[in-house]
Amino acid sequence: MDLFKKCETYNKEYLQKVMDSGLYPYFHYLNSGQNTEVVMEGNRTIMIGSNNYLGLTSNPEVIKAGVEAIQKYGSGCSGSRFLNGTLDIHMELEKELAEFLHKEDVVTFSTGFQSNLGIISAIAGRNDYILCDKENHASIYDACRLSFAKMLRYNHSDMQDLERQLKTIPDTAGILIVTDGVFSMSGEICKLPEIVDLAKKYGARIMIDDAHGLGVLGEHGRGTAEHFGLENEVDIYMGTFSKSLASLGGYMATTKEVATYVRHNSRPFIFSASITPASVACARASLKLLRENPQMVKNLAEISNYMRSGLKAKGIKIIESTTPIIPIYTYEDEKAFLACKLLLERGVYVNPVISPATPKGQALLRTSYMATHTKEQMDEAIEKIAEVLKIINVL
C-alpha cells in the first residue's frame, strides 16, 4: 500500500464540503500584530481568540527589547544551548524567571510543546509511571510516549480515579503526576490541593503545565501553585513564553539537581537550536513588566469577569471558571463553524472547539481575553455573540 494513500483520503469529502460552504474556520490570516483589535483579512476585528493574556505583544517596551536584541546579537543563535547556542541573555532569563517563580533553577526550551517533550522524556523512564489527566495538552501525551514510561490516564479532575490508579503502581517505580494547571479548552483549574495530598500519600512527584496559568493566576501572576498557596509542593513547573510573556519558547522551573539532569539528558533540549535573541529579549521585557505591575493580573481577572457576567446576563450558556478562558456552547460541530463565520463577518474572532477535542454534541466557541481589553469592546462582542447564537438557534 502506498504510504501517501491516507493523505489522499483524509476527510476529503467532509473537508471539501466545509470549505465549499464557506464554513472552514481555520488559517484566517492577520494583516496586523496581535492586539485587542486586529486587522484580519483586511477587516477590523475584536480579538477574543488569543492567548495574549496580558496584552504585551504590542507593548512598546517589549517591542523595543526585541529590536535591540536583534541589533546586538543578530537574528538567530545557529546552534543548541548545549554547544554554541547559549547567549548571556539566555542565562539572565533563566535566572530572572527562577527568582520570580521561587524555584532554584530554570531550563528554557525553544517552544512550549518542546518543553513538555524535553522535560518528561528526560525525567520519566522505562520503569516509571506517569499519571496523566485525560484533558491534558497534546504535548504532554506526546511526551509520555517519547519517555517510554508507562502512562496511566485518569478521568478529568477525578481524584478518586487518580488514587485508584496510584494504588496499582509498584513501590519500586518512580511516579510523576502531570496535569495542566489551567485546562486550555475549558479554562478550568486543576484540583491541585487534592493532587498534592495524593502525591504525598503515594510518594509521587508533581509537574504542572502552567502555560495558561502564568500571568493569569495568583496575586503576582506566578500561576496555579501561587493561586492555591502551594508553591513549595510542586516539583516542576512547565510554562511558555508565547502567551502572557508575549514571545516564543518555554521553560521548566525546578531544583538545581533536576535542572542539571535535564540539561544533560533531554534530547529535545540538546539537539534543538536555542531560542532566538529577539524572543529571549521580549520574554525578559514581558517578565519585567509583570513583576513590576502585578495589577495587570487583576485587570485580566476584572475584564474576564465583566465578560462572563455580560454573557450570562444574555442567557448564554458557558463553562464556569474563574480564568480568562470562557467557552460558549454551540453543541453541534456545524453550528460552531457557522457561529465563527457569522461572528467574523461581524468583526469578532473566536475559536471553534469540536469533537474529538470535546465530546460529541458538546461543541464550543473558545473565547479568551486580555488585560488590555476595554469594556466597550466587551459590550460590542457580547451583543454580536448573542445575535449570532440566536441566528443558529442556540440562544
Catalytic residue numbers read: 184, 212, 243
Residue 203 has a CB neighbour count (10 Å cut-off) of 12
* Torsion 132-248-56-33 (CA) sign: negative
Angle between helices 256-265 and 112-123 (to 10 degrees): 100
Alpha carbon distances (Å) from 38 to 29, 33, 282, 322: 10, 7, 20, 26
The rounded distance, in Å, linking the Cα atoms of 17 and 155 is: 35
- Do 36 and 49 contact (CB within 8 A), yes or no? no
- DSSP character at residue 353: E
Query: Are 208 and 236 within 8 A, CB to CB?
Result: yes
- Set of cell numbers at residue 105: 533553577
Give SS3 for 381: helix
Give me 55's grid cell: 496584552
| Alpha carbon distance 251, 168 (integer Å) | 32
